[in-house]
Structure 1
Amino acid sequence: MLRTRTLSTRNILRPTTRLQSCREIRTLASTYVPELLPHEQEPFDVTTTPDYTKYHPKISSISKHLSDLSPYPQHSPYINPQHYYQNIVLDDWSARKPHPVSLRQLAAFGKALNEDKIITSANFVRLELPIRLAIKLKELQSLPFDVVNNFHLAKVYESYYDIFDRFRKLSPIKSIEDNTRFCHDLEDVLTDINLLNLPNLLMGALECCILDSLPSKKLDELVSSLLRARISRRLILEEHLSLTHNFMKDPNQSRSHNFIGDIFFKCSAVEHLNISSDNATKFINKIYPGVKVPKLIIKGDKDLKFQFLTSHLHYLFGEILRNCYEATVKTFLASGPGPNDEPFPVEVQVINNQDHISFRFSDRGGGVTDIKPISKVWSFSKDAELAKLSLSNFHQLPNFQTLTNSIKSTKTMKTLARKSLMQTSVGVLDENFVKEATLIDLIQRPGEYKLGLGLAMCKVYADYWNGDLVLHSLSGYGTDTYLKLGKLGAANHDDKLQLDRV
């Protein structure tokens, strides 16, 4: 009986409780929201669609992307409830041991080519690529949910998984004909599938800054790690493509004793500095039309020639010189120059050491005054407001906007990459640039679009090549930027076995 009474009492109290709650809601509504009272409401026609534009003028276009915010976006072929079972495959590959490659091994392998070596190289790439991607995919999966589910970082994840899934299913390469088909797949990775990973990675990092999704140190470690891994994978792929191309062109080609790899070119320091200076001048002319541009004065070892990857060299030189020129012109204009006055020149000191090459860029641009502490220039983590500005500029970059707004075929992607590349003087240097069209687009982006990530990326690229990037600034005077690059032919670098570094 006691149990029945208790249940009965509860059943009696429930309607009363709901009724009291309803009365409280009406009381609150009449107190704080008088327009909700029945006698003041306008007649509502259920057959008409409400006007939601009062909440946001572009709400219709925004609402189309609401499904992308769910844990399993509708557009994603991989981020779905079944992905757990796909992870079983991923676990097997991520448990395998990757094989770091030293420059000495690279040089020895490419000095004398034959059909067996080309097939061996192809099978190495066929297995190494999915292993390395599987490791990075597992690292991405270990990130906090709001980081890995970021729209741009999810795109990077999907691209990695797509390449991993394609290459893990490839059959062993047994002939030159098999290798020819395999090289077509590698070209797709370099110029199509992987084309937007770099901008998506950087935009994802900026959104993490805005949302405070990851501490600064961890964000820097994540982006730097993914960038270094990206460089290593691309070098392995590009080297095999170059070996295949040269073998098919001339199977009996002889190599010099100091040969390193087919993708590395003999670079003249003066020539490449002048090319980057010309591009920086065009950049300044667009921002400050009619204003005199600083002259470039090169000192030191002007005859220096060294083997390097040209696209990376131009990115490093380009970003540093753009900053030097822009700071110098701003200071020059602020001084109220006369018609015959000229801005201070930018000086570059070229130093050739036993195991590395150094470039000291000196400008009279007033020093770095807007970033404190100065070490922040090396960080991908930005203040929320600065990150919003950088992200907005990223979305307005002409080439990236074209590629992100529509899905294009591989052939169209390659055409766009080549078109973008040939608009600059660096395009005539070598065909290898076409594979790094995204990096070239960053170099020649319009001057009005500030990204704030150029020096941070340069730091990663310099570190990858056993070098460093250091900046010394004197407020009110100028800045010295020291770029150090490991000499690729140096004995103490050739034998280093590192997974994501040369």
Structure 2
Amino acid sequence: MAVKKAAESFSKALAEEVQRWGAMKPTGVSLRYMMEFGARPTEKNLLISAQFLHKELPIRIARRAIELESLPFGLSVKPAVLKVRDWYVDSFRDLRSFPEIKDTSDELAFTEMIKMIKVRHNNVVPAMALGVQQLKKDLNLKAVPTDLEEIHEFLDRFYMSRIGIRMLIGQHVGLHDPDPAPGCIGLINTRMSPMLVAQVASEDARSMCLREYGSAPEVNIYGDPSFTFPYVPPHLHLMVFELVKNSLRAVQERFMDSDKVAPPIRIIVADGIEDVTIKISDEGGGIPRSGLPKIFTYLYSTAKNPLDENYGGVDEGVTMAGYGYGLPISRLYARYFGGDLQIISMEGYGTDAYLHLSRLGDSQEPLP
């Protein structure tokens, strides 16, 4: 009995500590701050950064762990969601049991630990998607009722917070790179060419389309290849990849049995004073107006679902179409640094996606 008691009191103490930290207020940072702070990754700056994360990460992680406990419709007790909650609690425990960071060797040990935390959370998105799917099956949803709005809002907060946690960890770890690429400060490239990123992302999406359908429409990109601005290239890659992938799929399926040549997808990169805007246009037939509000929800996908019960470890963005998370998550990535994503459709013709990226870099992280 005594053994069980000890475990129980430990978990109760841990639960109380999660509650205590979850009640604290997180601190948002801006792209500009990350850039200026990381421009000189001296030992002193790395120490300050680690001390900040030592206090900041447990707050953010505790807040999500608490939310995972109290989701509507019994989503919290779905096996996949319990697994995610355990990852969050384990990471919270690792951070809280790490002693105060006083010198460089503490800082290096801390950096190794947060690297492990980032890996532990790699499959959070597919695991949550699986949980939501288990729920949909239980509720036997043909149409998604509006009272699932609560789950949708939770997932927006949850994934936005995850982007922030991964950005902070990735940025700190990135500052340790002994040989950073020119213009790179951690994850931020101060001279990122949106044209170049769009090119690579389009090629990646086309090769996926080729694998899946045996052919792929062309992608034409218009803009100034020499134009650069500070941004996080993997974030932009993920968003453009997702949008181009959707366009390729729509065009491919619309022209599959046609004797016409599939029209190309057009990407235009415009450089404004406040925003850099990337427009992705296709002639894939568009989305009916009644379907537009659904494209940013997590409970809707027109494609067959790649997630099944024996979920192995799907990493983000591996299948051509999937659990319907590409668009809502891309919009969160855009909003994370003060941008946005809009989709305009002409049913019977095609779709235009407008990806707005704030080029001022001043907006604070939107903290859920």
* TM interval, short-chain normalised: 0.7 to 0.9
Does residue 162 of the first structure (1) align with residue 90 of the second (2)? yes
Distance in 2 between residues matched to 1:309 and 1:465, nearest whole Å: 10
Structure 1, unmatched stretches of 5+, are 1-77, 405-437
CA drift of 1:221 comes to 0.7
The question of 1:348 aligning with 2:220 is answered: no
Aligned mate of 2:166, from 234, 247, 251: 234
Residue 359, structure 1, aligned to residue 278, structure 2: yes
Contact between 1:99 and 1:499, CA under 8 Å: does it hold in 2? no
**CA offsets per residue over residues 74-113 of structure 1, 9 Å max, x none?**
xxxx9x8974443222222223332222233323322334
In the other structure, the counterpart of 1:500 is: 367
How far apart, in 2, do the equivalents of 1:349 and 1:367 lie? 19
Quote the residue 2:4 is aligned against.
none
The 2-side partners of 1:321 and 1:396 are apart by 29
> What are the equivalent positions in structure 2 for 1:179-328 lying under 5 Å apart?
179-191=107-119, 193-212=120-139, 215-246=147-178, 261-265=185-189, 266-289=191-214, 291=215, 293-328=216-251
RMSD of aligned residue pairs (Cα, Å): 2.9
Work out whether residues 153 and 200 of structure 1, in 8 Å CA contact, stay in contact via their aligned partners in 2: yes
Match of 1:99 in 2: 27
Whole-angstrom distance in 2 between the partners of 1:359 and 1:185? 37
- Deviations along 1:35-65, one digit per CA (max 9) or x if unpaired, are xxxxxxxxxxxxxxxxxxxxxxxxxxxxxxx
Identity fraction in percent: 25
Partner of 1:90: 18
| Corresponding position: 1:480 with 2:347 | no
Provide closer, same or farther for how the CA distance between residues 120 and 269 of structure 1 changes in structure 2, counting only shifts above 3 A: closer
C-alpha distance in structure 2 between counterparts of 1:145 and 1:84, whole Å: 25
SS at structure 2 position matched to 1:469: strand
Equivalent position of 2:308 in the other structure: 395
Tell whether the 8 Å contact from 1:295 to 1:346 is kept in structure 2 after alignment. Answer: yes
| Contact kept? 2:340, 2:355, Cα under 8 Å | yes
Q: Secondary structure at the match of 1:366?
A: coil
Instruction: Write the mapping of 1:87-166 to structure 2, written as runs, cut at 5 A.
Output: 87-144=15-72, 146-166=74-94
Rounded to whole Å, the distance in 1 between the matches of 2:241 and 2:220 is: 16
Q: Secondary structure at the match of 1:185?
A: helix
Equivalent position of 1:380 in the other structure: 298
Partner of 2:340: 468
Q: Which runs of 4+ in 1 moved over 6 A?
A: none
- Looking at structure 2, the residues matched to 497 and 277 of structure 1 have their Cα atoms a distance apart, in angstroms, of 29
Query: Which is higher, the Rg of structure 1 or of structure 2?
Result: 1
Q: Is the 8 A contact 1:346 1:362 kept in 2?
A: yes
Change (3 A) 1:149 1:308: same
- Quote how far apart the aligned CAs of 1:396 are: 8.6
Equivalent in the alignment of 1:39: none
Shift of 1:343: 1.5
Distance 1:115 1:275, change over 3 A: closer
Aligned 8 A contact 2:220 2:264 in 1: yes
Residue aligned with 2:176, SS = helix
CA–CA separation in structure 2 for the residues paired with 1:497 and 1:98:
12
CA contact 2:195–2:223 (8 Å) conserved in 1: no
**Distance in 1 (alpha carbons) for counterparts of 2:233 and 2:225:** 18
CA contact (8 A) 2:31 2:337 kept: no
| CA distance in 1 between partners of 2:286 and 2:72 (Å) | 38
Cα displacement (A) at 1:167: 0.8
- Verify the 8 A CA contact 1:209 1:382 in the aligned structure 2: no
Alignment of 1:36-115 (within 5 A): 83-115=11-43
Does residue 172 in structure 1 map to residue 39 in structure 2? no
Tell me the distance in 1 between the aligned counterparts of 2:78 and 2:9: 17
Q: How far apart, CA to CA, are the structure 2 residues paired with 1:355 and 1:228? A: 23
Is the 2:268–2:278 Cα contact (8 Å) retained in structure 1? yes
Does the 8 A contact of 2:338 with 2:357 survive in 1?
A: yes
Q: Which amino acid aligns with 1:300?
A: G
Number of positions where the alignment pairs a residue of Structure 1 with one of Structure 2: 356
- Aligned residue type for 1:221: E
Distance 1:211 1:471 in 2: 31
Alignment partners' CA distance in 1, 2:201 and 2:31: 27
1:160-203 CA deviation, whole Å, 9 max, x = no partner? 00000111011111221121211111111112x11221211222
1:16 maps to what in 2? none
1:382, distance to aligned residue in structure 2 (A): 3.0
Match of 1:69 in 2: none
